[in-house]
Amino acid sequence: MLAYIINLVTLISINAVLAITLNFIMGYAGIFSMAHAVFFGVGAYTAAYFALNVSASFFLAVPVAMLAAAVLSLVLALPALRVRGEYFVAASLGLQVLGVTIFSEWKGFTGGLGGLIGIPPVEFFGYGLSSNTQYMVLALACLLLVVLVTTVLLRSSFGRNLKAIRDSESAAHAFGKNVATIKTLSVAISAALTAVAGALYAFYLGFINVESFMLDTSVLLMAMVIIGGTGTLLGPIVGAMLLMLLPSLFSYMWFLPATEIGSIQQIAYGAAMILLMIYRPGGLVGASKKQVAK
Amino acid sequence: MTGPDNQVLLRISNLQKNFGGLKVTNDVSLDMRAGIVTTLVGPNGAGKTTLFNLITGHLVPTGGDILWNGKSIVGQPHWKIARQGIARTFQDLRLFDQMTVLENVLSVMEPVSWLWQPGGRAGRRAREEKATHILERTRLIDKAHIRAIDLSYAERKFLSMARIMATDARMWLLDEPASGLDRGSYELFLELLRSEVRNGVTVCIIEHNLDIVVGISDRIAFLDQGRLLADGDPQTVLKDPHLAAIYFGEQAA
C-alpha cells in the first residue's frame, strides 16, 4: 500500500509539473498548445540518451534535457508567432503528430517503438538514487522548484508582459512590447521546465517509449489545466491530482465491472469537462461563471 | 504656445492606404507640431482611426511617407514605433482586462521583453510611485487592486488615459477618449489633458463632441472619405458651411 502511494505521489508530481508548464503558456500567454507531450518526450529521451551514453548525473543530464527542449521549442514558437487562436491549435496538433513519428522512427536516438531501456538511476555527486521514496522526494522537490520559478516569473514584469499579450495583443504592441520575443521566451521557459518532468520520468521508470508522449498525453495535460483552472497558480496542481487519482478511485469501486473501468473513466472525464465548462468555465480553482461572464 | 514656428514632430506626406479598390486614406498630408492639439473630425468612416493605425504601424500604408523627427517610420513594427515615443489609445480601449488597475499601468512602463526590467529595485520603486501618482490623478487609486474588467464605463476610460500617461511618449493619439463621459468625468478629462499638454505632450485626438473639440483644439483637421478636406484653426473650419453640411448631414441621417 505504501509503495503504491509513493508511486502515485511521484507520478502526480511529474504530471503536476507538466500541467504547470502547460498552464504557463496556455493560461498566461494565451498559447493553446496541443504538443506539450512532445516537449515532455524530448526531455525524457534527451536525459535518457545522455544517461545511457555520457553521464547519469542529475546536474548534467537535466540541464542538457532542458536545453534541448528549449531549443526545440522554437519549432513551436514559430507558428505561435504567426497564427493565433484555433489556427495555432491546429498547427501544434501537427507538431504533436510529427513528434510522435520522429520518436518512433529515429531508432538511433529514441530506440524506435521499443524505446530506451536500462536507463541508469539518476546520480547526485556519484550517488545513485535507488529507492522509490528517494524518487518521490526528488519529484516533490522538482515540483516545488517549478512552482517557485513560475510564480516568481508570473509576478514579475515578465508575467505582466505575458498577461498583457493574452488580454490584448494589439494594446501590448501599442505600448512597445515586443510580442514575438516575449512569446518565444515564454515557450522556451515552459519547454525547459517541461523537460525536467521528462528527465524525472525517464530516470524513475528506467525505460521509456513513445506511448507516454502521444496525443492523448497532451490532451490529458490540457484537461488537467482546464479542469483545475486555467491561468491560476493552484489550478494545474489540483487538476493533475484529480485526473491522476480518478483511475485509482474507480478501481476501488467494487460494484463497477473491472473490464469496463477504462470506458467508464473516459465517460467520467468527458462528462466532467462538459459540466465544468457549463457551470465553472474558470476551472475548479478559477473564478466562478458569474465573475468570468461579467 | 501655438504657431507655425513649433518644431514638426510628425510629418505625414501624401499618405495613401487602399483596401482593395477602396481608398480609405487618400493623399493625406498633415504636420503635427510640438505642443499643438490637433483634432481629427469627420463623419464615421472618414478614415480617422485608419490614420492612427497607419501612424502607429498597425497598418502599412500603400503609398506616401510618415516622418517622425525627420526620419521615416513606415514599415517598422508597431512596437518599435511605440518605443520611439508615439502612444495611442483605442476606441474600444483594449485594457488588460484580467489584470488589476495598478498592473495595467505598471505594465505600460515595462516594455523590456526580457525576464526583468533595467534599473533593479530602485527602478521598480520609481515605477510604482509613478503609477500610484497617475492613479491618484485619474481618481482610480481606490480601485488599484481591482481587475480592469470590473471597472465602470467611465473608470475604464480613465484607466485608458492612465495607461497612456504612464508612457514617456511625446506624441499621443487619442481615439474618442471622452465619448460617453458624464459632465464631471469630462471636466476631469479636460483638466488631465490640458496639464499633460502643458508638460510638453503633443496630442492628436479623434472626437465627435464639438464642446471638446472647441475646448481643447488648437487646430482641426477635417477628413471625409479618406481625404483631408480642411485643416486650420477651429473657428474657421467649424464655420465652413460646406464642411458643416457634410458633418451634420451625416450625423442627422
Structural domains of chain B sorted by starting position, each given as residue range(s) with its CATH number in brackets: 1-85+170-180+200-253 (3.40.50.300), 95-168 (no CATH)
* Chain A environment of B112 (Cβ under 8 Å): 157
Q: Report which of residues A97 and B115 the model is more confident about.
A: A97
Nearest by CB to residue A161, choosing from B80, B82, B113, is B113
User: Which H or E element spans position B180?
Assistant: none
pLDDT more than 90, % of chain B:
74
Contacts of A178 (CB under 8 A, 6+ apart): B79, B111, B113
Mean pLDDT across A233-248: 90
On whether any CB of chain B is under 8 Å from the CB of A179, the answer is yes
Geometric angle at alpha carbon A233, from A12 and A83, rounded to 5°: 95
**Which residue type sits at A143?**
L
User: Which H or E element spans position B172?
Assistant: strand B171-175
Radius of gyration of chain A, Cα coordinates, nearest whole angstrom: 19
Inter-chain CB proximity B94 and A171 less than 8 Å: yes
pLDDT single digits (tens) B163-218: 999 999 999 999 999 888 998 998 999 999 999 999 999 999 998 888 778 888 99
Query: Can you read off the three cell numbers belonging to residue B216?
Result: 481643447
B14, B27 in Cβ contact below 8 A?
A: yes
Residue A239 lies in a domain: no
Number of H helices, E strands in chain A: 13, 2
Mean pLDDT across B115-142: 94
* Residue numbers of the domain that contains A36: 2-214
Residue A167 lies in a domain: yes
A61, A55 in Cβ contact below 8 A?
A: yes
Inter-chain CB proximity B90 and A170 less than 8 Å: yes
Residue A178 lies in a domain: yes
Q: Which of A99, A43, A103 is nearest to A51 (CA)?
A: A43
Inter-chain CB proximity B90 and A174 less than 8 Å: yes
Q: In chain A, whose CA is at the least distance from the CA of B160?
A: A171
Alpha carbon of A169: minimum distance to chain B alpha carbons (Å): 9
Stretch among A156-160, A237-241, B155-159, B239-243 having the lowest mean pLDDT? B239-243
Alpha carbon of B116: minimum distance to chain A alpha carbons (Å): 6
Asked if residue A4 has pLDDT above 80, the reply is yes
Q: Which of B102, B94, B117, B168 is nearest to A170 (CA)?
A: B94
On whether any CB of chain B is under 8 Å from the CB of A167, the answer is yes
Residue A285 lies in a domain: no
On whether any CB of chain B is under 8 Å from the CB of A149, the answer is no
Q: Where are the alpha helices (DSSP H) in chain B?
A: 48-56, 78-83, 101-108, 120-137, 153-166, 183-198, 210-216, 234-239, 241-252
Q: Is A87 exposed, middle or buried (0-12, 13-18, 19+ CB in 10 A)?
A: exposed
Choose the mutation target among A175, A179, A294 for the interface with B, i.e. most B CBs under 10 Å.
Answer: A175
On whether any CB of chain B is under 8 Å from the CB of A219, the answer is no
Task: Report the residue count for chain A.
Answer: 294
Q: Which residue has the cell 502521444?
A: A214
Inter-chain CB proximity A179 and B106 less than 8 Å: no
The 8-class DSSP code of residue A259 comes to G
On whether any CB of chain B is under 8 Å from the CB of A160, the answer is yes
- Residue A218 banded pLDDT, cuts 50, 70, 90: very high
Nearest by CB to residue B116, choosing from A156, A164, A175, is A156
* Mean of all residue pLDDT scores within chain A: 90
On whether any CB of chain A is under 8 Å from the CB of B130, the answer is no
Alpha carbon of B131: minimum distance to chain A alpha carbons (Å): 14
Inter-chain CB proximity B115 and A185 less than 8 Å: yes
Cα-based distances in Å from B181 to A28, A92, B49, B96, B209: 32, 44, 20, 21, 10
DSSP string, B9-65: EEEEEEEEEEETTEEEEEEEEEEEETT-EEEEE-STTSSHHHHHHHHHTSS--SEEE
B173, B56 in Cβ contact below 8 A?
A: yes
Residue A141 lies in a domain: yes
Complex prediction ipTM: 0.91
Nearest by CB to residue B167, choosing from A158, A173, A175, is A175
pLDDT more than 70, % of chain B:
96
Asked if residue A261 has pLDDT above 90, the reply is no
Mean pLDDT across B4-16: 88
| Distance separating alpha carbons of residues B106 and B165, to the nearest angstrom | 11
Nearest by CB to residue A178, choosing from B79, B103, B149, is B79
| Distance separating alpha carbons of residues B167 and A223, to the nearest angstrom | 39
Mean pLDDT across A203-213: 95
Nearest by CB to residue B99, choosing from A167, A175, A177, is A167
Asked if residue B5 has pLDDT above 70, the reply is no
| Distance separating alpha carbons of residues B56 and A13, to the nearest angstrom | 46
Residue A269 lies in a domain: no
| Distance separating alpha carbons of residues B243 and B231, to the nearest angstrom | 11
On whether any CB of chain A is under 8 Å from the CB of B78, the answer is yes
Q: Report which of residues A49 and A261 the model is more confident about.
A: A49
Q: Give the pLDDT confidence score for residue B4 in this predicted structure.
A: 57
Task: Taking each helix axis as running N to C, give the angle between helix B101-108 and helix B153-166, from 0 to 180 degrees, rounded to the nearest 10.
Answer: 30
* Chain A environment of B103 (Cβ under 8 Å): 160, 163
**C-alpha distance across the termini of chain A, in Å:** 47
Output the CA torsion sign for B100, B104, B109, B115.
Answer: positive
* Chain A environment of B120 (Cβ under 8 Å): none
Output the CA torsion sign for B199, B201, B202, B203.
Answer: negative
Q: Which of A178, A186, A169, A164 is nearest to A83 (CA)?
A: A169
On whether any CB of chain B is under 8 Å from the CB of A192, the answer is no
Structural domains counted in chain A: 1
On whether any CB of chain B is under 8 Å from the CB of A105, the answer is no
Residue A251 lies in a domain: no
Task: Taking each helix axis as running N to C, give the angle between helix B101-108 and helix A157-167, from 0 to 180 degrees, rounded to the nearest 10.
Answer: 100
Q: Give the pLDDT confidence score for residue B252 in this predicted structure.
A: 45
On whether any CB of chain B is under 8 Å from the CB of A153, the answer is yes
On whether any CB of chain B is under 8 Å from the CB of A158, the answer is yes
Asked if residue A287 has pLDDT above 70, the reply is no
Asked if residue A289 has pLDDT above 50, the reply is no
- State the greatest distance between any 2 C-alpha atoms of chain A, in Å, as a whole number: 61
Inter-chain CB proximity A163 and B97 less than 8 Å: no
Inter-chain CB proximity A171 and B96 less than 8 Å: yes
Query: Can you read off the three cell numbers belonging to residue B249?
Result: 448631414
* Chain A environment of B56 (Cβ under 8 Å): 174
Task: Tell me the three state secondary structure of residue B205.
Answer: strand
On whether any CB of chain B is under 8 Å from the CB of A99, the answer is no
* Chain A environment of B167 (Cβ under 8 Å): 175-176
Q: Give the pLDDT confidence score for residue A288 in this predicted structure.
A: 54
Nearest by CB to residue B94, choosing from A156, A157, A168, is A168
Q: In chain B, whose CA is at the least distance from the CA of A189?
A: B115
Contacts of A235 (CB under 8 A, 6+ apart): A23, A27, A225, A228, A229, A283, A284, A285, A286
Query: Can you read off the three cell numbers belonging to residue B78?
Result: 508597431
On whether any CB of chain B is under 8 Å from the CB of A175, the answer is yes
pLDDT single digits (tens) A16-40: 999 999 999 999 988 889 999 999 9
Mean pLDDT across B124-148: 96
Q: Report which of residues A180 and B104 the model is more confident about.
A: B104
| Distance separating alpha carbons of residues A180 and A78, to the nearest angstrom | 9
pLDDT single digits (tens) B54-112: 999 999 999 999 999 999 999 999 999 999 999 999 999 999 999 999 999 999 999 88
Q: Give the pLDDT confidence score for residue A292 in this predicted structure.
A: 44
Helix, strand and coil content of chain A, in percent to the nearest 5, comes to: 75, 0, 20
